[in-house]
Amino acid sequence: MICRSGRAAEPPSRKNIPGAWMLFCATMFSGFLPAWGEEMPSTGNPPFVQLLRKARAAVPKELPTRDRPASYHGCPVDVTLTGGVLRGGVTLQKLVEGKAQGTYSAAAVSNGPSGRPEVLGARRIREIALPGARPFLVYQAKSNALTIAPDAGAAKGKNKLPGAKSSVRWPELSERQQYAAVLEEKNLLQEIDREVPNAGMKLYETRRFIFYSDIPERWIATLYAPYLDQMYGKLCQAYGLDPQQNLWRGKAVILAYQNPASFTIFETKLFHFERPSAQGAAHCLSDGTVLIACYAGRDPHYFGAVLVHETAHGFTHRFCSPRRIPSWLNEGISEWIAKQVVPQDQGINRKVQRAVQRMRESGSLGGDFFTAEHIGDWQYGAAASMVDFLLRSPGASRRGKSAVPFHQFVELIKDGVPWEESLQRAYGMTPAELTWNFGKSLGIPNLRP
């Protein structure tokens, strides 16, 4: 299945920003992406699927392994320096052996396979990892050298909560599988570039994201990449995850065009999807791949909010399982995190104010807030406020304590427990009680769903 979410393009006037965060899910492609290693169907799918087939087929069969350190030579790696600075996507040219067996005194890296090597002494390096995977080399102060880190295998997922009904959780990926996923994503971007040629596209890589964009590098380095890094950390906190672990399959791919025409061509040509009013779309695939397509527009902060909102949909897609959560919760999470990360964009604050005024006048969330497949325009502000309320609320068994049960609430839904039951178990409230308490917090007594 391909789930898509898109935010409307910025309006001509910034004085009246519409609250149109629109969610849409196309199920006609359900099941088109098979499990890892299975053959991908060749007919009945959008052109994007054919590109993905080519990208997956181009991944080398022989991948590096820890029992042969030299097998990492020539591989793209993420190098974290001792000060925490990340050198993402550089090529590991060579490991220089140390005095003791199994240690390395330096690593030679370059920007690209044919770039000029730069020798980094072991003391300058904290760790080296394949993209998307755990470190395979770490610095040991005792030996003043890099040593091979033990292979922890696949990331250990959390056990399903008691009463969970779904047995479908995202598979745990090993180092080699994560590395192969990143190679596949980079191959995919090359295939996309052939289909949607756009001058000036460059690849940038961070610990958790791959950017492919013709937006000026300074904007990516100083604004958009930091926005997404903040988003990742804050959502990990909200969902009770370790931010040092990789939630993504490989990395999240950001395809960001400067020109809106390129974005439209991408969506129409590769997905047969036309939505010229959207500035971004989250493509959440059933194999776990997340690709965010978007264009910059004129307002960098508005675009930053678009980027965070859409990528947050991908994060939620990857949390626990592919099972969907209710629209009000899904959009509320994305609105809430966009407001947290990009406070310079005032659009969300306007939507919240408009929603509060509407609720105050009607005494209601709209009647279909909890049941709508896609909540309405004005309800996005209410959804953002309600998620903020839940994140600040104690749970059913934690009254008076600081622990927040929000991640338990979402995790239960992801494990197949109806959201109403999940709410009761996590917070000790019914939907009506949630609405009443939420309204009370806003100064709107007796608020109805």
User: Kindly report the CA angle at 410 between 404 and 414, in degrees rounded to 5?
Assistant: 150
Calculated CA dihedral for residues 106, 109, 115, 117, nearest 10 degrees? -10
Instruction: Kindly state whether residues 312 and 364 are assigned to the same domain.
Output: no
Task: Pull the structure tokens for residue 349.
Answer: 């604050």
Q: If you search the block for the tokens 């959502």, which residue do you land on?
A: 235
User: Distance of CA 114 to CAs 71, 111, 205, 300, Å?
Assistant: 18, 8, 18, 34
Q: Give pLDDT, residue 38.
A: 32
Q: Give pLDDT, residue 387.
A: 98
Q: Is 38 exposed, middle or buried (0-12, 13-18, 19+ CB in 10 A)?
A: exposed
Taking only the tens place, the pLDDT of each residue in 114-128 is: 889 999 999 999 999
Instruction: Kindly state whether residues 89 and 51 are assigned to the same domain.
Output: no
Q: Is 83 exposed, middle or buried (0-12, 13-18, 19+ CB in 10 A)?
A: exposed
Give exposure, 181-207, as e/b (b: 16+ Cβ within 10 Å).
bbbbbbbbbebbeeebebeebeebbbb
The range of the structural domain enclosing residue 364 comes to 347-441
Q: If you search the block for the tokens 């490989």, which residue do you land on?
A: 250
189: closest CA among 250, 129, 230? 250
Instruction: Kindly state whether residues 251 and 202 are assigned to the same domain.
Output: yes
Instruction: Kindly state whether residues 184 and 302 are assigned to the same domain.
Output: yes
- Displacement of CA 49 from its chain's centroid (Å): 20
| φ, ψ of residue 225 in degrees (nearest 5) | -65, -45
Secondary structure letter of residue 214 according to DSSP: -
Q: Give pLDDT, residue 227.
A: 97
Which of 264, 289, 324 is at the close of a domain?
324
Q: How many angstroms separate the CA atoms of 422 and 428, rounded?
A: 9
136: closest CA among 76, 56, 201? 76
Instruction: Kindly state whether residues 166 and 251 are assigned to the same domain.
Output: yes
Q: Give pLDDT, residue 355.
A: 97
Residue 62 lies in a domain: no
Which of 94, 124, 148 is at the close of a domain?
148
Instruction: Kindly state whether residues 262 and 361 are assigned to the same domain.
Output: no
Q: Give pLDDT, residue 289.
A: 95
207: closest CA among 250, 177, 155, 154? 250
6: closest CA among 279, 334, 336? 279
Instruction: Kindly state whether residues 217 and 314 are assigned to the same domain.
Output: yes
CATH number at residue 129: 2.30.30
> Is 386 in contact with 429 (CB distance < 8 Å)?
no
Residue 448 lies in a domain: no
Residue 416 lies in a domain: yes
Instruction: Kindly state whether residues 78 and 130 are assigned to the same domain.
Output: yes
Domain count of the fold of the chain: 3
Residue 153 lies in a domain: no
Instruction: Kindly state whether residues 374 and 229 are assigned to the same domain.
Output: no
Which of 85, 119, 148 is at the close of a domain?
148
Share of the chain residues as helix, strand and coil, in percent rounded to the nearest 5: 35, 20, 45
Q: Give pLDDT, residue 115.
A: 86
The answer for 413, left when phi > 0, alpha when psi is -120 to 50, beta otherwise, is alpha
Instruction: Kindly state whether residues 297 and 396 are assigned to the same domain.
Output: no
| φ, ψ of residue 70 in degrees (nearest 5) | -65, -15
Instruction: Kindly state whether residues 24 and 87 are assigned to the same domain.
Output: no
Residue 279 lies in a domain: yes
Residue 112 lies in a domain: yes
Residue 51 lies in a domain: yes
CB atoms within 10 A of CB 378: 16
Secondary structure letter of residue 174 according to DSSP: -
Q: If you search the block for the tokens 């003391």, which residue do you land on?
A: 123
Instruction: Kindly state whether residues 181 and 274 are assigned to the same domain.
Output: yes
Q: Give pLDDT, residue 151.
A: 67
Residue 449 lies in a domain: no
Sorted by sequence, the CB contacts under 8 Å of residue 357 that are 6+ apart come out as none
Sorted by sequence, the CB contacts under 8 Å of residue 141 that are 6+ apart come out as none
449 residues of the chain, pLDDT tens digit each: 455 566 666 654 333 333 333 333 332 233 344 333 333 333 447 899 999 999 999 999 889 988 888 899 999 999 999 988 889 889 999 999 999 988 999 999 998 888 899 999 999 999 999 998 889 999 999 999 999 987 655 444 455 555 555 558 999 899 999 999 999 999 999 999 999 999 899 999 999 999 999 999 999 999 999 999 999 999 999 999 999 999 999 999 999 999 999 999 999 999 987 765 789 999 999 999 999 999 999 999 999 999 999 999 999 999 999 999 999 999 999 999 999 999 999 989 999 999 999 999 999 999 999 999 999 999 999 999 999 999 999 875 554 444 569 999 999 999 999 999 999 999 999 999 999 999 999 999 999 99
> Is 231 in contact with 312 (CB distance < 8 Å)?
yes
